[in-house]
Amino acid sequence: MEQLPALSTVLCAVLLIPTWGAGLTVRQSPVVRAYVGETATLICSFEYRWGSMVNVWWTRAPGVVLESHHPFCSGRLNVSFQDLFWKGEVTLTLSELEKRDSGLYRCHVSIRQGESGTGVGTELLVVERNQIDTGLTVLQSPAVLRASPGETVNLSCSFENRQGSVAKASWTRAPGVVLESHHPFYKGRLNVSDLDLLRKGEATLTLSELEKRDSGLYQCHISNRQGESGTGAGTKLQVTGRNQSDTGKEPAPVGCCSWELLYQVTIALGLLLILGLVATLLLKRC
């Protein structure tokens, strides 16, 4: 197996997967691999408008905010805005890597104009130099999937199955709950792709009769007989009511439009009455 290049000189940015926040798309590389002792750089990109005030912070699952003064990251963590103006990119650099640095790192961006967004995350894999690379890149799309109660959705992931060997797929829902068809909550609603599809390097999960509580982050886990394994960055499923808009705004309370119409009619009648009185007075003078 060929050796990995030092990440101090080469970045592993295979694919940029977008996610959506409040009008802002944030992209991150899905997987970065490095050896213990090296330096890894994670990239976060988004549409930057010249002169905008930008606030960027990074978290490591399950939501720990990364700060340079933290004892664990002290002297090893650096966030750079050098390419912000020209490329709309912000980078996080972590040096003197340890195996415990492995994890999912997410980039959060907010702009003073009210826009915000969060990346689906970059999975950092830190291994020993003499350790066999068992990493398997698993890609999931889309990053965000919206649906309504009662509908059926298909979540998918893909991976490189070089020899068409037997692979095993499993799905979890954050924070790590394994999805099983015999579970009372999913019984009769859950279906995972068959073996033939796995040989092609694809895996799917079908979930029917959706409920609002099905909303969450679903991750695909793949392993094969060669000892390789990998996990996708996840697909965020959002199940919203049919009368709820995609912008996340709550539907208007029942009866609000009727009161507004009544108010407008009352004002119109009042104006007509005033005009009538004025016209009557003018006619009397004449």
Averaged pLDDT for residues 133-157? 83
- Ranges of each domain in the chain: 1-133, 134-246
First CA to last CA distance, the chain = 106
Q: What is the pLDDT of residue 263?
A: 61
- 122 exposed, middle or buried (CB, 10 Å; 0-12, 13-18, 19+)? buried
- Residue 157 in this model has a pLDDT that exceeds 50: yes
Q: What is the pLDDT of residue 163?
A: 64
> Domain 1-133, what architecture?
Sandwich (2.60)
CB-based burial, 167-177: b 16+ in 10 Å, e otherwise: bebbbbbeeee
H or E stretch covering 84? helix 84-87
* Residue pLDDT, tens place only, 66-78: 888 877 888 899 8
- Residue 284 in this model has a pLDDT that exceeds 50: yes
- 35 or 161: which leads in pLDDT: 35
Averaged pLDDT for residues 194-204? 76
Q: What is the pLDDT of residue 201?
A: 81
- 1 or 176: which leads in pLDDT: 176
- Residue 188 in this model has a pLDDT that exceeds 70: yes
pLDDT band at 20 (very low <50, low <70, confident <90, very high): very low
Phi/psi of residue 278, each to 5°?
A: -60, -45
- 225 or 102: which leads in pLDDT: 102
Strand ranges (E), 89-165: 89-94, 103-111, 116-118, 122-127, 138-141, 144-147, 153-159
Q: Choose among 151, 146, 139, 160: nearest CA to 189.
A: 151
Mean confidence (pLDDT) of the chain: 76
pLDDT band at 151 (very low <50, low <70, confident <90, very high): very high
Coil/strand/helix, residue 195:
helix
Q: What is the pLDDT of residue 283?
A: 79
Strand ranges (E), 53-102: 54-60, 64-65, 77-80, 89-94
Q: What is the pLDDT of residue 135?
A: 63
Q: What is the pLDDT of residue 149?
A: 93
Averaged pLDDT for residues 2-31? 49
- Residue 152 in this model has a pLDDT that exceeds 90: yes
Residue 282 in tokens: 């003018």
- 123 or 130: which leads in pLDDT: 123
At position 91, the amino acid (one-letter code) is T
Q: What is the CATH number of domain 134-246?
A: 2.60.40.10
